[in-house]
Amino acid sequence: MERLLVTGGAGFVGANFVHHVLAHTDVTVTVLDKLTYAASEESLAGLPGDRVELVVGDVADGHLVDRLVGEHDAVVHFAAESHNDNSLDEPGPFIQTNLVGTFTVLEAARRHDTRLHHISTDEVYGDLELDDPARFTEDSPYRPSSPYSAAKAGSDHLVRAWVRSFGVRATISNCSNNYGPWQHVEKFIPRTITTALDGERPRVYGTGHNVRDWIHADDHAAAVWAVLERGRIGETYLIGADGERSNLDVVGDVLELLGRGRDEYDLVSDRAGHDLRYAIDATKVREELGWRPQRADFATGLAETVAWYRDHEDWWRPHKAATEAAYAARGQ
Ligand code: NAD
Ligand code: DAU
């Protein structure tokens, strides 16, 4: 593999993947990204210009996607609308990008017989009870709760259908909650850090007992590369790093890292349909592909992430006020 097409590579997880690929392989990367509000060209700045090219365009643009897919050896498909709260306000873009966009990529991969890896989420499996020892596996039933997760679930089904019916050479991975540099301030950890840096009180939805299974975005990137290189066609791999934490624990840790009291937060109205708990059993990707998270110590990763946002205020500051205004309109 010499030429890799990365859709959504100017977003949070995609950009971390592009950095990982540039640092650990010799491949050249073309990023196809629409540069929505969630994207950041700065996240790709400083990477060697002879190995990374940004094409600004829509993943649902059939002509553009067909040309680009035909010019590359493999595609990693990250492009999506990604925020649950936005999907509750306005589901339309989630249907268009996550479903029609994935269909467009699949049709191009079919025409050109190009290897495809589809990036998905653990949210397609719905949620688990707080006191349930179970974790999601590749055999868990699909039970999405939000327009975002339902559209991602639909995209997974499209990929499996194109593998079975048309022989498209695709794999899928479903990962848990990522954190790390370049994550938009609308998401929980960056919102909490930047709100606390501003001396304000972070907002916690509902009771705050909801649990997410945190993984550093660089560990996710390494797992995606392992699947792309060594994964079996048609297979799904769950990716997680045993990072279960309640939202209250995460907010308390961030506040403490910034020298504030652990309880200096406000409980606000809950997200509609709010999933209680996610948890990943990553046995398959560990045993079959030999992947291991290198940054599974959440305390260290969170401290580094807090430091990153403290040092990169020029990056997040322009988006903070508008993001908070949207939250205020929802009472959150
Ligand atoms: P993000 O919102 O930060 O980035 C999404 C990127 O996709 C942006 O750069 C945006 O401009 C681009 N994009 C959106 N619509 C597009 C379109 N129509 N055409 C081309 N580009 C478009 O999202 P993220 O958190 O980086 O998530 C990326 C992928 O990873 C998604 O598929 C998401 O479902 C998946 N995922 C994310 C997480 C997580 O915790 N963030 C966990 C598991 C899976
Ligand atoms: O599990 C993987 C998913 O993780 C990805 O598929 C999504 O793209 C990604 O956005 C993320 O979804 P979540 O909904 O879990 O992430 P979010 O950062 O929006 O919220 C994390 C938790 O924190 C969730 O329980 C809601 C809560 N929350 C969020 C915000 C923004 C708060 O309590 N307060 C907040 O201010």
Query: How many Å lie between the centroid of ligand 1 and the Cα of residue 184?
Result: 11
Containing structural domain, residue 130: 3-179+215-239
Does an H or E element contain 52, and which?
Answer: strand 52-56
**Residues in the chain, pLDDT under 50:** none
Q: Does residue 148 carry a catalytic annotation?
A: yes
DSSP code, position 140: P
Give the C-alpha separation, 326 to 320, whole Å: 10
Whether 146 is in a domain gets the answer yes
The tally of domains found in the chain comes to 1
- Specify whether the backbone of 279 is left (phi greater than 0), alpha (psi in -120 to 50) or beta: beta
- Ligand 2 pocket residue status of 191, Cβ below 6 Å: yes
> Which CATH number covers residue 220?
3.40.50.720
Active-site hit among 107, 122, 156, 219: 122
Query: How many Å lie between the centroid of ligand 1 and the Cα of residue 48?
Result: 23
Give the C-alpha separation, 316 to 332, whole Å: 19
Q: Are 169 and 116 in contact (CB under 8 A)?
A: yes
Q: Are 119 and 173 in contact (CB under 8 A)?
A: yes
Whether 249 is in a domain gets the answer no
Whether 44 is in a domain gets the answer yes
Whether 131 is in a domain gets the answer yes
Whether 268 is in a domain gets the answer no
Residue-wise pLDDT tens digits, 120-171? 999 999 999 999 999 999 999 999 999 999 999 999 999 999 999 999 999 9
- pLDDT value at position 42? 97
DSSP code, position 277: B
- Ligand 2 pocket residue status of 204, Cβ below 6 Å: yes
Active-site hit among 58, 81, 107, 123: 123
- pLDDT value at position 320? 98
Whether 201 is in a domain gets the answer no
Structure tokens given for 110 = 């079919």
The residue to which tokens 């991969």 are assigned: 109
Give the C-alpha separation, 126 to 278, whole Å: 8
- pLDDT value at position 322? 97
- pLDDT value at position 266? 98
Does an H or E element contain 104, and which?
Answer: helix 102-112
| ipTM score | 0.99
Whether 10 is in a domain gets the answer yes
Please tell me the pTM assigned to this model.
Answer: 0.99
Q: Does residue 278 carry a catalytic annotation?
A: no
Give the C-alpha separation, 332 to 324, whole Å: 9
Whether 188 is in a domain gets the answer no
Q: Which ligand is nearest to the CA of 144?
A: 2
Q: Which ligand is nearest to the CA of 186?
A: 2
